[in-house]
Structure 1
C-alpha cells in the first residue's frame, strides 16, 4: 500500500489546515500542536494512506502492530471487506439520494468511501482512538460538509458506558462494557466514559428520507434496534448491512448484550418491518428467520420488500468478480 505522494501530501495538508482552523473557530476546540506538527514531517505519527477503491480516498489506519485485521488489510491491499465494499457501492448507486448511516464506523473506511461516492454520511464511533483517526480522514478528504461524525455508542437508552478492552491486533473488536453504565454525567466525564444514544436519537442528524445502514457494533445490534421504531417510521431504509459473527458466537452466554432470545427478537422485529435476511459471504444464501441458531455466518444484509433488489448484483459479483464493480460508474446501475 503506497503512502501519500509529496503532491498529494501538500494538498491534504492544506485541506487539513483549513479544516483545522474552521473546526476550531466553530467549536472552540483545537487539534494539539504535537499532532499538527506531525503533518509537517514526511513520516507523520498518524500515517495516512490512499485507498485502492474507485474512487479512492485518504484514510488513517492504525499500524499493523496495533490492528492487523482492518488496518493491516488497508495498508497491504488498500481495501477492506471487498464484498461489502462492492455491494455498498451498488446500494448507494441504486439510491442516489440516500445517506449512509455507519454505526460502528471504526477508522471510517466505509464512511469515507461513501463520501468519495458523493453521499452524505452519519458515522457513529465510540472509541476515542478510532474516532481520532476517523476525524483526521474526514479533514484530509475535505468531507466535513457532507459527513457528520459522533463520538458516541448506540444502545437502547441514553447513559454513559465504559468501553471494553482492546483485543490484541484487532482494535475493531473494542466493545461496550454493558456491566458499567451510569446516568451521572459529571462522574461519567471524570472517568472518561462514552455517551450512548439510541437510533431514534440519530434522527436529529438526519435530514433525508432514505438511508442505508451499516451496523457493526460488536453484539450491541440487538440493543440498538430496540429503540429504532421512530427511525424506521421517518426514514426508508432499503438495506441494512449487519455483522452477525459476534452475535452468533456469544448468543449462548449470559454476559452478552445479545442472547439467543434477543437475537430471535431482533430477527422477528426486522422481518415484521418487511426485511428479508441474506448471507452474502462466502456463499450467497437466503436465510430462514425461524432458524436463527443455525445461522453459521459472519455477515448479513437485510433487504426491504419495497427495495430495489441487490440480488442480481450479488450473482454478478460471484460470476464476474470485483473488477466489474471497480470499473462501474454509479450511473450504470
Structure 2
C-alpha cells in the first residue's frame, strides 16, 4: 500500500499466510489499486508447487510465521502454504514490461531463497536496491553466506539503513542492525533517499 501511494504503477506482493492475504486483498479493494497490484499467494522456497507447514515465530505476531516442513496439501489450513521460486515471477514481470524494481523482503530467515531461486529475475531486470531483514538470518551461517555471495557477485554493497554507511566489516555478524540494504554500486544515493522518506512518515 505504501508503494502504490508513492506512485508505483507495478507492485508485486508475495504473501503466503491466508489471513494476511485476505487483509491485503481487502486493502487493495478499499484503495482501488487493483490495476497496480499483483498479489501472489505463495511462499518463497527452493521448489515450486509443493506444500509447506508454517510455525509461529513470534507469539501473537500475525506476520512472523516461519517455513517449517514439506507436507501434504490441505487448502483449509492457513498454516499449510503452497510454494514458488522467485524466478516464477518472470511471466508477470514480462507481461507488465517491468524493466527495473526495488525489493523489500522479510520472510523470517528464509530470505536466502530469493538468492537461490532468483538468478533469472536479477539478470533480466535492473534491481538497484533490496531491503532485507538481517538480524535473524545472519545467525544461520550457511544462509547468510549464500546471501552475501549472491549480492557481492553482482556488485551490491551492504548499507546500514539507519546511518546510510556501508558495512566495511567483512564479518556480517558484526553488522549491528536489524535490517540491511543491498545497494548496487553507483546507486548509493538511493540510501539517503529512502532515509528521507522514512523520516517524513
Matches within 5 A, 1:285-300: 285-288=165-168, 290-300=170-180
Say how many residue pairs are matched: 194
State the TM-score, normalized to the length of structure 1. Answer: 0.54
CA–CA distance in 1 between the matches of 2:19 and 2:98? 30
Q: Does 1:304 align with 2:184?
A: yes
CA–CA distance in 1 between the matches of 2:55 and 2:12? 24
Matches within 5 A, 1:97-112: 112=1
Deviation at 1:274, TM superposition (A): 1.0
The residue that corresponds to 1:171 in the other structure is 62
Q: Does 1:116 align with 2:5?
A: yes
The residue that corresponds to 1:278 in the other structure is 159
RMSD over aligned Cα atoms: 2.2
Q: Does 1:189 align with 2:74?
A: yes
The residue that corresponds to 1:5 in the other structure is none
SS of 2:136's partner is: helix
The residue that corresponds to 1:133 in the other structure is 23
CA–CA distance in 1 between the matches of 2:194 and 2:36? 28
Contact 1:303 1:309 in 2 (8 A): no
CA–CA distance in 1 between the matches of 2:169 and 2:24? 35
CA–CA distance in 2 between the matches of 1:223 and 1:308? 25
CA–CA distance in 1 between the matches of 2:194 and 2:121? 27
**Residues 314 and 147 from structure 1, CA distance in 2 versus in 1: closer, same or farther, beyond 3 angstroms?**
closer
Q: Tell me which stretches of 4 or more aligned residues in structure 1 moved more than 6 Å.
A: none
Structure 1's unaligned 5+ residue stretches are 1-111, 252-258, 327-333
Deviation at 1:241, TM superposition (A): 0.5
SS of 2:29's partner is: helix
CA–CA distance in 2 between the matches of 1:241 and 1:311? 10
Deviation at 1:235, TM superposition (A): 1.1
CA–CA distance in 2 between the matches of 1:208 and 1:224? 18
Matches within 5 A, 1:21-32: none
The residue that corresponds to 1:241 in the other structure is 131
CA–CA distance in 2 between the matches of 1:289 and 1:150? 36
Look at both structures and tell me which one has the larger radius of gyration over its CA atoms.
1
State the TM-score, normalized to the length of structure 2. Answer: 0.87
The residue that corresponds to 1:142 in the other structure is 32
Deviation at 1:290, TM superposition (A): 2.3
Higher helix share: 1
**Residues 146 and 166 from structure 1, CA distance in 2 versus in 1: closer, same or farther, beyond 3 angstroms?**
same
Matches within 5 A, 1:193-272: 193-206=80-93, 207-248=97-138, 251=139, 259-272=140-153
Structure 2's unaligned 5+ residue stretches are none
SS of 1:238's partner is: strand
**Residues 289 and 209 from structure 1, CA distance in 2 versus in 1: closer, same or farther, beyond 3 angstroms?**
farther
Higher strand share: 2
Contact 1:199 1:228 in 2 (8 A): yes
